[in-house]
Amino acid sequence: MDRGSLVAVLLASILHSAVVAAEDRHVFLNWEVSYSVRSPLGVSKRVIAINGRLPGPLLNLTTNDVAHVNVVNTLDEPFLLTWNGLQMRRNSWNDGVAGTNCAIQPGANWTYVFQAKDEIGSFFYRPSLGLHAAAGGHGPIRVNNRPVIDVPFPHPDGEFDVLIGDWYNMDAKEMKERLDRGRGLPPPDGILVNGLGPYEAEVTFKAGRTYRLRVSNVGARTSLNFRLQGHKLLLVEVEGTYTLQKHYASLDVHPGQSVSVLVAADQAPKAYYMVVSSLFVLPEIFGVATVLYAGSGEQPPSGDAPLDERSSHNNYNRSMEQAMSIRMNLTSGAARPNPQGSFHYGDINVTRTLLLRNDESDIGGRRRCTVNGVAFANAGTPLKLADYFRIAGVFKVVSGRPETRNPSLGTTVIDASYRDYVQIVFENRLPSMQTWHLDGHSFFVVGMAWGKWSPDARSTYNLVDAMYRSTVQVYPTSWTAVLVYLDNEGMWNLRSQDVEKRYLGQELYLRVRQGDSEVPDPRDELPMPSNALLCVF
Ligand SMILES: *[C@@H]1O[C@H](CO)[C@@H](O)[C@H](O)[C@H]1NC(C)=O
Ligand SMILES: *[C@@H]1O[C@H](CO)[C@@H](O)[C@H](O)[C@H]1NC(C)=O
Ligand SMILES: *[C@@H]1O[C@H](CO)[C@@H](O)[C@H](O)[C@H]1NC(C)=O
Ligand SMILES: *[C@@H]1O[C@H](CO)[C@@H](O)[C@H](O)[C@H]1NC(C)=O
Ligand SMILES: *[C@@H]1O[C@H](CO)[C@@H](O)[C@H](O)[C@H]1NC(C)=O
């Protein structure tokens, strides 16, 4: 290739990444958010429905599609949706969390516009304000491969979105008031599968076919174990990354996580149970759905659901081993033609280590969840807007290391440079499970172990084929380390996926930018959307 054409190719690729290409498909959706009443566990509860449905409609995109989702808020309170696991490239403006967006006021609407740029996989959306996520408002997201891009497994004969999650009969407003009074939430009342109570949800297989189940834990706070009586689960994808394909009898799915499994309908044609059980909490709770084989007479399964395997599932070590057994397939391509393993993440020098230690403290007479001593408090002005309009004093930039200080409330932001290669260590000294999620990025889950983290731990890391995902669990009195390439400019929420812990302060923001100069180059970060909402006080 001569120099001229090389420049032309480079230019073309820069331009391609800079603008939404003319051929990209635009998908226009209108979603009405309303209250509705459901009683999945026999107790009526006011839930949040989307277009009258819970779970809400499937957001079905193909790589590089541009979604225009007009969210109409008919609730009597401000509302926002966030796109859990989507990368929102260059576009934290549309991330839909309190630090990036003013809320959609009651009776108002707002159109999110974002591109599923260079991604593929299984995700979900959910409400982001207060305890709305405990009232529903969630739904599945699929980002399909473009036909020219291969998928590392045969095309399944059918796909099902399976949203599992713990459920509270208590009204979400009452849950919030309870936390505001300094009390904790009680244990959840049960587990739903696609918004339905025990034995209500069903899926139908045809014998001899293979199905893809896209399973997401959309619940408020409980880690879950998922299994399908008599069938093996072939894990193929986790939050947008293809895994080394491996059979599991059951899979742990922690709050906010998504996995795809292939299931071969290769058993005697009768009915089976899909069982979801709570991990690490007492009393243990279950969700049960039915898998029918078409033409088998569609009888309910004989006998009780196999709930008895549970004791083995409540072992932290087993769960941690399973987590570390999930590896990335280095040779399969993802949304782009180059293989997933072409980014040699283990060879890159870490430019910075963030050590985030969660804890619980009494602050001003109320129990709060802190990160390095600070319980996050939302500012009146979204941090993204404060940053854009250079409004001083809205947030406080912190170091991202534990500091000796009295626990306090604060609006904390960690500053990071665009293209920093950062190690984040989540250290959990508490006896409860933690789950952390970063918006705008996926990270390599290189290690987790009991006890305290130390820099020597690097010798135990998986620096070859660690899972690349956006939500990771941290076991009690243990740590989890991730590596992340900060290649997405913006103001990104780093949060607990446990709605209680998050509401009580376990979150912060990561500001990724190039220097402190003027307006970012639109190739690196999109300008503020013309329809950006103003806040109402
Ligand atoms: C999702 O979109 C793809 C590509 O347009 C289409 O083939 C598929 O049928 C859609 N799936 C559903 C469930 O709507
Ligand atoms: C609200 O919805 C209308 C269409 O009903 C649309 O024209 C308008 O752009 C939406 N407003 C915002 C801020 O997105
Ligand atoms: C879990 O593993 C740790 C460290 O290897 C060990 O000390 C502990 O006894 C194990 N616990 C169980 C219940 O097996
Ligand atoms: C990895 O991906 C390749 C496609 O590049 C596929 O042929 C292979 O079966 C996958 N390996 C595993 C173990 O999943
Ligand atoms: C990483 O750091 C080592 C030691 O400081 C240095 O020798 C090496 O060149 C660096 N590698 C890269 C890719 O920058």
Summarised one tens digit per residue, pLDDT across range 188-238 is: 999 999 999 999 999 999 999 999 999 999 999 999 999 999 999 999 999
What is the reported pLDDT for 302? 67
- Distances in Å between the Cα of 337 and the Cα atoms of 12, 157, 341, 476 are 17, 24, 11, 39
Sequence-separated (6 or more) residues with CB below 8 Å from residue 389: none
Q: Is 128 among the domain residues?
A: yes
- Give residue 10's pLDDT band: very low, low, confident or very high (50, 70, 90): very low
Sequence-separated (6 or more) residues with CB below 8 Å from residue 223: 217, 252, 253, 254, 255, 278, 279, 280, 281, 319, 433, 435, 473
Pocket of ligand 1 (CB under 6 A): 58, 60, 62, 144
Nearest CA to ligand 2 atom 13: 110
What is the reported pLDDT for 18? 42
What is the reported pLDDT for 23? 85
Q: Which ligand is nearest to the CA of 116?
A: 1
Residues 415 and 504 in one domain: yes
What is the reported pLDDT for 460? 97
**392/516 Cα distance (integer angstroms):** 14
Are the C-beta atoms of residues 132 and 119 closer than 8 Å to each other?
no
Ligand 2 atom index nearest CA of 108: 1
Are the C-beta atoms of residues 492 and 439 closer than 8 Å to each other?
yes
**159/138 Cα distance (integer angstroms):** 19
Q: Is 369 among the domain residues?
A: yes
What is the reported pLDDT for 74? 98
Residues 280 and 380 in one domain: no
Ligand 2 atom index nearest CA of 533: 13
Residues 289 and 389 in one domain: no
Copy the structure tokens of residue 139.
Answer: 């739904």
Q: Which of 296, 325, 354 is the last residue of a domain?
A: 325
Please tell me what DSSP assigns to residue 339: B
Nearest CA to ligand 3 atom 2: 317
| CATH (domain of 227) | 2.60.40.420
Cis bond before residue 106 (omega within 30° of 0): no
- Is the model's pLDDT at 511 over the cut of 60? yes
Residues 385 and 500 in one domain: yes
Q: Which ligand is nearest to the CA of 159?
A: 1
Ligand 4 atom index nearest CA of 331: 5
What is the reported pLDDT for 303? 66
Domain that holds residue 29: 17-144
**Cα(115) to centroid(ligand 3), Å:** 44
Q: Which of 300, 325, 350 is the last residue of a domain?
A: 325
Are the C-beta atoms of residues 382 and 102 closer than 8 Å to each other?
yes
Residues 258 and 320 in one domain: yes
Q: Is 103 among the domain residues?
A: yes
Are the C-beta atoms of residues 138 and 126 closer than 8 Å to each other?
yes
What is the reported pLDDT for 327? 98
Q: Is 332 among the domain residues?
A: no
- Is the model's pLDDT at 9 over the cut of 50? no
Residues 380 and 496 in one domain: yes
Q: Which of 325, 354, 384 is the last residue of a domain?
A: 325
Q: What percent of the chain has pLDDT over 70?
A: 92
Domain count, the chain: 3
Q: Is 62 among the domain residues?
A: yes
Q: Which ligand is nearest to the CA of 151?
A: 4
Q: Which ligand is nearest to the CA of 351?
A: 5
- Is the model's pLDDT at 312 over the cut of 70? no
Nearest CA to ligand 1 atom 8: 60
**97/77 Cα distance (integer angstroms):** 15
What is the reported pLDDT for 295? 87
Nearest CA to ligand 1 atom 4: 62
Per-residue pLDDT of 79-99, as tens digits, reads: 999 999 999 999 999 999 999
Residues 180 and 318 in one domain: yes
Q: Which ligand is nearest to the CA of 112?
A: 2
Residues 192 and 303 in one domain: yes
**Cα(357) to centroid(ligand 1), Å:** 42
Q: Is 519 among the domain residues?
A: no
**Cα(531) to centroid(ligand 2), Å:** 9
Residues 317 and 371 in one domain: no
Residues 371 and 504 in one domain: yes
**Cα(50) to centroid(ligand 1), Å:** 19
DSSP states of 508-537: EEEEEESSS-SSPPTTTSPPPPTTPPPP--
Copy the structure tokens of residue 126.
Answer: 């959910």
- The CA-based dihedral angle spanning residues 443, 449, 454, 457, taken in that order and rounded to the nearest 10 degrees: -70
Ligand 2 atom index nearest CA of 109: 1
Copy the structure tokens of residue 175.
Answer: 């849950």
**Cα(517) to centroid(ligand 5), Å:** 29
Q: Is 335 among the domain residues?
A: no
- Is the model's pLDDT at 308 over the cut of 80? no
Nearest CA to ligand 3 atom 12: 317
Pocket test for ligand 1, best of 27, 29, 64, 144 (most atoms within 8 A of CB): 144
- Is the model's pLDDT at 46 over the cut of 80? yes
What is the reported pLDDT for 403? 86
**Cα(247) to centroid(ligand 4), Å:** 14
**Cα(422) to centroid(ligand 5), Å:** 15
**Cα(324) to centroid(ligand 4), Å:** 18
Q: What percent of the chain has pLDDT over 90?
A: 86
351 vs 16 pLDDT, higher one: 351
Ligand 3 atom index nearest CA of 317: 1
**Cα(346) to centroid(ligand 5), Å:** 12
**Cα(349) to centroid(ligand 5), Å:** 6
Q: Model's pTM, two decimal places?
A: 0.94
Read off the pLDDT of each residue in 463-477 and give the average, rounded to a whole number.
98
- Is the model's pLDDT at 309 over the cut of 60? no
- Give residue 521's pLDDT band: very low, low, confident or very high (50, 70, 90): confident
- Is the model's pLDDT at 486 over the cut of 80? yes
Residues 128 and 26 in one domain: yes
Are the C-beta atoms of residues 110 and 531 closer than 8 Å to each other?
yes
Helix (H, G, I), strand (E, B) or coil at 301: coil
Instruction: For strands 202-205 and 286-293, give the pairing.
Output: parallel
Residues 212 and 182 in one domain: yes
Q: Is 478 among the domain residues?
A: yes
Average per-residue pLDDT for the chain: 92
Nearest Cα to 446, choosing from 456, 457, 455, 436? 457
Pocket of ligand 4 (CB under 6 A): 152, 244-245, 329, 331-332
**Cα(27) to centroid(ligand 4), Å:** 32
**Cα(450) to centroid(ligand 3), Å:** 9
**458/209 Cα distance (integer angstroms):** 44
Pocket test for ligand 3, best of 279, 314, 317, 320 (most atoms within 8 A of CB): 317
